[in-house]
């Protein structure tokens, strides 16, 4: 952790005193540490304790140094934001996007990984609201360090005791290790659907939202990569740190992707490209008639195959959305399109495109295979990047 930058948020629970020992250990490991104490935390432990440990000023209010805009400056200076202990109240605020003090404002502004270690009475931990809030945060990619069972402040024994210092440190260190594993990489991602116009008001497309590609771009940025995102029509907001090329048709996407490809070290084609386009596009709206109508189609370019034919050292990952014979079809595509890996997902029935949970199977080489179980697209993006980094390292060894 030498030279790494950690932001520690301390909430108002009895376990706040344990955050001092954690702060000391973070500093002893060589990290630069900033600390935010909530007003409630100061009922349990003082700012002077953390100032002495971190050898830096401790932040307790939005209004101490308004010219520094602390909630923005602190998260931009840090590489990971650890909230220890995280109370039920603060967890609820984070889940709902409430920002009413320095800590919650900083969390809402954070584009860095967040690690939280809950600590509270068993009844509060097991309340359906807390359970739902923790699931919401986990779905957004927040790392939850689960509390332990043990002796609690209320002289009770049960779940809710702050996780051990080793477990919290492991989570922080793992997050820091992940944040730099794409440093120096230039990543190209295609995402979203394409739309092929029939006339000014009608088009051929599919139900892709682009969420998977956008989350992969967000995760790549967090890990230190430079990201080019070629994005089809979608209402999902891409990360601001990416260089975004907005496109509509498959041919527009092909031109943009091939223009960006020569500088990419890794390319991931998540876009759901329309395989067909109308052979004729009408300049005016086609009027409805009672006569039978037919629509002549012609093939769109195969963008993934084009990237594979001229990848020139780029590590190329494809996606396969399948309804039948998932792995057999994906492995055939892996070979035919000269891919280094392919992620296949089942889009049959209710498992179709969308922003909900999904699962992936990653295939590579002659028999490489890894399952990424059902989770949010943000969690899957982290798992897929972990897999890509591992495959590249092993194939280069």
| Per-residue confidence (pLDDT) for residue 353, from 0 to 100 | 59
**Of 38-52, 99-113, 115-129, 364-378, which range is least confident?**
364-378
| Per-residue confidence (pLDDT) for residue 96, from 0 to 100 | 95
65 CB-near residues (< 8 Å, 6+ apart): none
Q: Helix, strand or coil for residue 289?
A: coil
| Helices assigned H by DSSP within the chain | 16-28, 47-54, 70-77, 88-96, 102-109, 122-126, 128-139, 165-179, 211-222, 250-260, 303-309, 326-336, 377-396
How far does Cα 343 stand from its chain's mean position? 17
Averaged pLDDT for residues 249-276: 94
| Per-residue confidence (pLDDT) for residue 290, from 0 to 100 | 77
Q: Which of 72, 4, 60, 55 is nearest to 32 (CA)?
A: 4
Contact 171, 165 (CB under 8 A): no
- pLDDT tens digits for range 57-112: 999 998 887 777 899 999 999 999 999 999 999 999 999 999 999 999 999 999 88
pLDDT over 90 percentage in the chain: 65
| Per-residue confidence (pLDDT) for residue 140, from 0 to 100 | 78
- pLDDT tens digits for range 297-355: 999 999 999 999 988 899 999 998 877 778 889 999 999 999 999 999 877 655 555 55
Query: Do the bridges between strand 157-161 and strand 186-191 make them parallel or antiparallel, or are there none, so unpaired?
Result: unpaired
DSSP state of 14: T
Contact 127, 159 (CB under 8 A): no
Higher pLDDT, 80 or 289: 80
Averaged pLDDT for residues 233-260: 92
Q: Which of 254, 258, 341 is nearest to 301 (CA)?
A: 254
| Per-residue confidence (pLDDT) for residue 362, from 0 to 100 | 95
- Residue 167 preceded by cis peptide, ω within 30: no
**CA gap 216, 384 in Å, rounded:** 8
pTM of the model: 0.70
Average pLDDT value over all residues in the chain: 90
Q: Which of 133, 206, 312, 329 is catalytic?
A: 206
For the chain, list the domains and their CATH numbers: 5-179 (3.40.50.1950), 186-276+293-396 (3.40.50.10300)
Max avg pLDDT among 36-50, 135-149, 340-354, 380-394: 36-50
122, two tokens: 């068993």
> Quick one: three-class SS letters along 301-347?
CCHHHHHHHCCCCCEEEEEEEECCCHHHHHHHHHHHCCCCEEEEEEC
Contact 364, 334 (CB under 8 A): yes
Averaged pLDDT for residues 183-208: 92
- 206 an active-site residue? yes
Is the CA virtual torsion 162, 29, 176, 383 positive or negative? Answer: negative
Averaged pLDDT for residues 125-129: 95
User: DSSP for 354-386?
Assistant: SSS-EEEEEEETTTEEEEEEEE-HHHHHHHHHH
| Per-residue confidence (pLDDT) for residue 110, from 0 to 100 | 93
Helices and strands, number each (H, E), in the chain: 13, 20
């Amino acid at each position: 952790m030498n030279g790494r930058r950690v932001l520690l948020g301390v909430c108002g629970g009895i376990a706040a005193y344990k955050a001092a020992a954690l702060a000391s250990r973070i500093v002893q490991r060589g990290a630069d540490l900033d600390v935010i104490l909530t007003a409630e935390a100061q009922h349990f432990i003082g700012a002077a304790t953390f100032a002495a440990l971190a050898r830096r000023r401790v932040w307790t209010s939005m209004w101490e140094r308004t010219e520094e805009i602390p909630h923005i400056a602190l998260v931009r200076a840090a590489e990971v934001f650890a909230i220890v202990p995280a109370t039920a109240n603060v967890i609820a605020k984070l889940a709902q996007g409430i920002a009413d003090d320095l800590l919650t404002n900083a969390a809402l502004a954070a584009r860095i990984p967040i690690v939280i270690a809950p600590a509270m009475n068993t009844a509060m931990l097991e309340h359906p609201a807390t359970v739902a809030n923790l699931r919401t945060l986990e779905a957004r990619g927040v790392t939850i360090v689960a509390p332990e069972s043990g002796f609690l402040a209320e002289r009770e024994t049960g779940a809710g005791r702050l996780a051990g210092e080793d477990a919290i440190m492991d989570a922080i260190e793992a997050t820091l290790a992940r944040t730099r594993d794409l440093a120096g990489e230039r990543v190209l991602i295609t995402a979203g659907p394409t739309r092929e116009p029939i006339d000014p008001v009608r088009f051929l497309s599919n139900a892709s939202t682009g969420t998977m590609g956008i989350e992969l771009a967000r995760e790549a940025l967090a890990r230190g990569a430079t990201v080019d995102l070629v994005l089809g029509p979608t209402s999902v907001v891409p990360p601001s740190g990416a260089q975004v090329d907005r496109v509509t048709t498959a041919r527009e996407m092909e031109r943009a992707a091939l223009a960006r490809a020569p500088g990419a070290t890794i390319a991931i084609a998540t876009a759901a490209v329309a395989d067909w386009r109308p052979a004729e596009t009408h300049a005016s709206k086609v009027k409805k008639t009672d006569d039978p109508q037919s629509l002549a189609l012609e093939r769109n370019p195969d963008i993934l195959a084009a990237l594979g034919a001229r990848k020139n050292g780029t590590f190329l990952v494809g996606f396969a959305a399948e309804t039948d014979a998932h792995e057999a079809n994906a492995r055939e595509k892996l070979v035919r399109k000269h891919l280094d890996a392919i992620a296949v997902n089942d889009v049959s029935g209710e498992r179709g495109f969308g922003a909900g949970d999904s699962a992936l199977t990653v295939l590579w080489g002659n028999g490489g295979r890894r399952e990424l179980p059902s989770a949010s697209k943000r969690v899957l993006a982290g798992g897929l990047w972990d897999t890509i980094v591992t495959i590249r390292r092993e194939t280069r060894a």
